[in-house]
Every structure is written in C-alpha cells, then in structure tokens.
Structure 1
Amino acid sequence: MQFRESQAIYLQIADYVCEKILLKEWKVEERIPSVRELAVQLEVNPNTVMRTYEFLQQQEIIYNQRGIGYFVSPPALKNAQSYRRNDFVEKDLPQVFRTMFLLGMDPEELKPRFEKYKKQNFA
C-alpha cells in the first residue's frame, strides 16, 4: 500500500478497511485480518494497525471478540459510509470545487462521466 504524507497512516489504513467493507469484500459478522496479519500485509508497524482498529471500534465499524479476533460490526456498512462521506466532504470536495471553479466547469458536466465510471467499474 502506498501511503500519502498528507494523512496519518492509521487513518489511511482505516480508509482501506472501510473500502473492503463498502465493496463487501469483508462482510458483516465476518472475521477480518488480525493486527499482525494486516501489519505484515501492509508493511507497517502492528501498533499502527492496533491504533486503526481502536479507531474503527470507536466508529462502530468493527468489534473485538476477546481471544478470537476482530469482526465487521452489524452497522458497519452504514457507519463506514458515513465516516468516509464526512471525510470526503470535509477534505477532498473543497479541492475538487476549487479546481472546477478555476477551470470554469459546471457540476452537471461531471454527471455523465460519473455514470460511465460506475458502469465500467461497479456493474
């Protein structure tokens, strides 16, 4: 995984976990990789993954069954979507709007491109 300098690594890992849940690669009530497994997979310190998992537990996206592991929580889809949506609106969208303004673009121009993207990538 390529990490960006503009955001804390544990939050980038949280985005990765949320994406797996939102794409339904990790299903509700399904066990997710352990702290060590994910740390090895992403080539990060296990403490960083632990921080991510603690953060995601606070967001009620995952939960811990002591001695068994971490699991996708029942409200994970809704909570992950809400978390990612808020993050997108607060951090990414202002830059998109700025660029659109500078280029003289109207939001309606993007709708056909968005529909094409959805069709090609998520049909």
Structure 2
Amino acid sequence: MEFRDNQAIYLQIAEFICERILLQNWGVGEKIPSVRELAVQLEVNPNTVMRTYEFLQQKEIIFTKRGMGYFVSDDASDKVIAYRKEEFIENELPQFFRNIHLLGIDFSDLQTRFDHFKQENF
C-alpha cells in the first residue's frame, strides 16, 4: 500500500479496511487480520494498526472478541457508507465545488460524464 502525505496513515488504513468491507472481501461477523498480521502486510508499525482498529471500533464498524481478535460488525456496511459520505461531504466536496466553479463546468456536463463513468465501470 502506498500512503499519501495529506492524510494520517491510520486513516488511510481505515479506508483500506472499509473498502474491503464494502467490496465484501470481509463479510459480516468475519474475523479480520490481527494487528500484527495487517502491520506486516502493510509494512507499518503495529501501533498504527492498533490506532486504526480503535478508530473503527469507535465508529462501530468492527468489534473485538476478547482473546479471539477483531470482527466485522453486523451493520458495518451501513456504518462505512455513513462515515465515508460524511468525510466526502466535509473534506472533498468543497474543493470539488470550488474547482467546477473556477473552471466553469456545468452540472449537465458532470451528469453526462458521471453517466458515462457508471456505464464503463459498473
């Protein structure tokens, strides 16, 4: 995994985990990699992964079973979508709106591009 400079690593790892949940690579109730396993896989400090897991527990996306590890929560997909929507609206959308205003891009142009994107990718 290549990390970006503009966001904390633990949050980028959280995005990685959330994406796996949305793609159903890790299903409801399924055990996710241990802190050490994921740290080795991503080549990061285990403390960073631990911080990620604590963050995701606070968001109720994952939960821990004492002595057994971390697992995907029952409503993890809904929680991930809500979290990512909030992050997108607060952090990315303002810059997006600024750019379309500065560049004079019309919403109808965006709709056409978006429709084309959906056809090509989904």
Task: Find the counterpart in structure 1 of residue 46 from structure 2.
Answer: 46
TM-score, L = length of structure 1? 0.93
Partner of 1:88: 88
Aligned length: 122
Q: Distance in 1 between matches of 2:108 and 2:24?
A: 30
CA distance in 2, matches of 1:11, 1:105: 31
Q: Which residue of 1 aligns with 2:57?
A: 57
How far residue 27 of structure 1 moved from its aligned partner, in angstroms, is 1.0
Report the alpha carbon displacement of residue 119 of structure 1 after superposing the two structures with TM: 3.1
Who is 2:31 aligned against? Answer: 31
When residues 92 and 76 of structure 1 are mapped into structure 2, their CA distance, relative to the original with a 3 A threshold, is: same
For 1:61-104, what per-residue CA distance to the aligned partner results, in whole angstroms no more than 9, with x for missing partners? 00011111111100101101011110011111111111111110
DSSP 3-state at the match of 1:112 = helix
Shift of 1:113: 2.1
The one-letter amino acid of 1:118's match is K
Structure 2: give runs of 5+ residues left out of the alignment: none
Which digits, 9 at most, give the CA deviation of each residue in 1:32-55, with x for residues without a partner?
111111111111100000000000
Alignment pair present for 1:103 and 2:107: no
Compared CA separation, residues 43 and 60, structure 1 to 2 (3 A): same
Distance 2:101 2:13 in 1: 31
Which residue of structure 2 aligns with residue 120 of structure 1? 120
Large movers: runs of 4+ above 3 Å: none
Superposition deviation, residue 118 in structure 1: 2.7
Alpha-carbon distance, 1:114 to partner: 2.0
Q: 2:65 is matched by which residue type in structure 1?
A: Q
Contiguous gaps of at least 5 residues in structure 1: none
Rounded to whole Å, the distance in 2 between the matches of 1:35 and 1:119 is: 38
Task: Give identity over the alignment, percent.
Answer: 61
